[in-house]
Amino acid sequence: MKSKTKVYSWAVLAALTLSACGGGSEVGSGSATVSDQKNSYVIDVNDVVAEVQPTMYGIFFEDINFAADGGLYAELIKNGSFEFDEPLMGWEQPASDRFSMNDASGFATAINKVSDDPNSRFLRVEVKSPTGYVLTNSGFRGMGIKEGNTYNLTFNASVLEGKSTMNFELLAEDGSVLGSTKVTPSGGAWKEYKAAIKSSKTDMKGTLRISFEGAGKLDIDLVSLFPEDTWMNRPRGLRADLVQKLADLKPGFLRFPGGCIVEGRTLAKRYQWKKTVGDIEDREMLINRWNTEFAHRLTPDYYQSFGIGFFEYFQLSEDLGAEPLPILGCGMACQFNTGELVPMDEMEPYVQDALDLIEFANGPITSPWGKVRAEMGHPEPFNMKYIGVGNEQWGPEYIKRYKLFEDALKAEYPEIIIISGSGPYPDGEMFEYGWDQLKDLKTEIVDEHYYRPPNWFLENADRYDSYDRNGPKVFAGEYAAQSVAIASPDNKNNWNCALSEAAFMTGLERNADLVTMTSYAPLMAHAEGWQWTPDLIWFNNLESYGTANYYVQKLFSNNAGTHLVTLKEDNKPVIGAKGLYASAVLDKETGEVIVKIVNNNESKESVDMSIKGLANLQGKATMEVISAMDPDAVNSFSSPENISPELIDFNISGTDFSLEVEPKSLSVIRIKSQEILALNY
């Protein structure tokens, strides 16, 4: 790995040495001052608290911040089917004037079909001049175009009069041509046309220009432009660099599609999974509920094309080796908005949607919804094990509806694990009410959300130590430290927030017998199209980077282990009394002890470690460290790894040793022992 001289005060990490010290060893580094407090940890590999669930560390995807259209979904054309409320939003006619006859150019008009077709509009183009008419589309805050890449163009057309050749050009921000192709539609019947454009240069703010050669009249629809180098090279696929960042997290589950978009501002605008599967042209576009949610970040051009629909979410889960966790609406619109309710005697369609979703995911191809899955290219079941009912709903009306779902789902699919919500806050009257009711219902897993200041995370590392072990399991489904305030546009993904989350995560891990799933939120944000901050991954039209929070998540998820064991000081958990937080797991598959230590102090700390239950530790060990003395330090497009792990290799002998942990740091130590492979758990 690259050294982080901007982050680490100890640039000599690569030269780290281990020296014998009495009966054990000492790991030391750098010249930072070591505090004089004593820290002595005992890890007992025979004191197994719980198996760490494969779902312990996952990811939560919601289409906020242009995370889907304009982000993960690699489509470059915005509003290619003219279905936005303003049909030509995203399109420009630079040589035309809507208040003139446009005899020297031409004009385009959106036409509504007289049908209930979900793709209800197309564009009628009247070209009046042989060379004067132009349409342009600049995508989602520009199109990211890369030198040497091929871009696959598709569109549907029907010729009504004359003959017009369409010249498709990719333009750079300065107007220069990056690549082009020509297509001449023919015939009055609708046809699909395909072409490809290869780019000669890279540009962050590309535009597609369509110029028409020859007068005539034609209808066009479903204009689409995709890079060829999508994830797994799938046609109409996902943006490869963003999926790779998800894959690098090795997530145990993927929660989708939300989040508040599940609920909708109104019930009419709620997310309906059945409208997101099948052929792309049959998926009904929907305004995104984050479109105008925040006055400080109005995004009127934010819609959901559902190019990423439920099939694609399941497919992505499979690609990542993650359990799919779909969340469904429960007949309640977002309670921060209208809070509309479906009457209890009209809930049957909502419950049936959940039953049909299980059939879509797991059913045989002879079943109605299993057949739809097979026709989309996946005859094998997705083997879905989890489903969530509602997002951040609360109160008696939610409990009534949750019970209705639970009774129906368990009657037909008793093996499916149902996840309930507990509202948007981690405490308070409605939170307590929800938990009391859900305990009585013997709910399997309760989803808790926390968007709180960094100090809250430090102070709540012991949050789950006192939870009832006979009640539901816990899903920490959405959390992120807020550097300023919840929903503030000034929140930053700084090291102070990331380190506080790391401290909290040691508490989640120490309670792995209770906490079985965790995920940061939100997952992604477009640098120019965001509504909410902080976010785990930031991207623009060409690049992406993981935040400091991302690398904290990665260190935990890549070092999850298989069994939680005790780590104590003076027979107590290490939960911040001295500014240190720690947890320990075993990895039975690799034969390693994995220790995570967070040092929130401004001084280096010396830690004496004793590992009980093993006769000897020998050979190589590793330590990955993230450290920064500046609490406001961040990653950026210009410095994407400013805060990221440094890997140290060292040798060890004996079960007692000492190490030094850097100030303001997260350290993950992996120590091999063949004895662990032989332990019988």
- SS3 call for 219: strand
Task: Report how far residue 653's alpha carbon sits from residue 655's, in angstroms, rounded to the nearest whole number.
Answer: 7
Q: Note the Cα 315 to chain centre separation in Å.
A: 15
Q: What angle do CA 589, 594, 647 make, to 5 degrees?
A: 105
- 58 alpha carbon, distance to own chain's centre: 9
Residue 222 near residue 153, CB atoms below 8 Å: no
Collapsing DSSP to helix, strand or coil, 463 comes out as coil
Q: Pairing between strand 191-198 and 253-256?
A: unpaired
Query: CB within 8 A of 588, min separation 6: which ones?
Result: 562, 563, 676, 677, 679, 681
Return the closest-CA partner of residue 391 out of 314, 328, 480: 328
Q: Hey, is 596 helix, strand or coil? A: strand
Burial of 2 (0-12, 13-18, 19+ CB in 10 A): exposed
Catalytic pick from 75, 126, 169, 392? 392
Q: State whether residue 374 is helix, strand or coil.
A: helix
Is residue 602 part of the annotated active site? The answer reads: no
Judge contact between 643 and 551, C-beta under 8 A.
yes
3-state SS class at 360: helix
Q: How far is residue 51 from each of residues 48, 515, 560, 592, measured CA to CA in Å?
A: 8, 11, 11, 15
Please give the Cα distance from 264 to 283 (Å, whole number).
17
Identify which of 171, 192, 194, 173 has the alpha carbon closest to the alpha carbon of residue 182: 194
DSSP state of 285: P
Strands (E) in 113-184, as ranges, are 121-127, 134-137, 143-145, 150-162, 165-171, 177-183
Q: Is the peptide bond before 522 cis (omega within 30 degrees of 0)?
A: yes
Cα distance between residue 406 and residue 446, in whole Å: 13
**CA-based nearest residue to 526, from 537, 536, 540, 543:** 540
Please say whether the beta carbons of 357 and 389 come within 8 A. Answer: no
Q: Is 584 helix (H, G, I), strand (E, B) or coil?
A: strand
Alpha-carbon distance 550 to 522, whole Å? 11
CB atoms closer than 10 angstroms to residue 640: 15
Q: Taking each helix axis from N to C terminus, what angle separates 310-320 and 348-362, rounded to the nearest 10 degrees?
A: 40
Q: What DSSP state is assigned to residue 97?
A: -
**Tokens of residue 114, six digits:** 């007289």
From CA 611, how far away is CA 167, in angstroms rounded? 70
- Residue 64: closest CA among 399, 480, 484: 480
Order the strands of the 121-127 sheet from edge to edge: 106-112, 121-127, 216-227, 150-162, 191-198
Return d(Cα 166, Cα 186) in angstroms, integer.
Answer: 11
Report which residue type is found at 357.
L
Reported as type and span, the H/E element at residue 311 is: helix 310-320
Least Cα distance to 216 among 248, 177, 260, 184 occurs for 184
> Which positions are annotated as active-site residues?
392
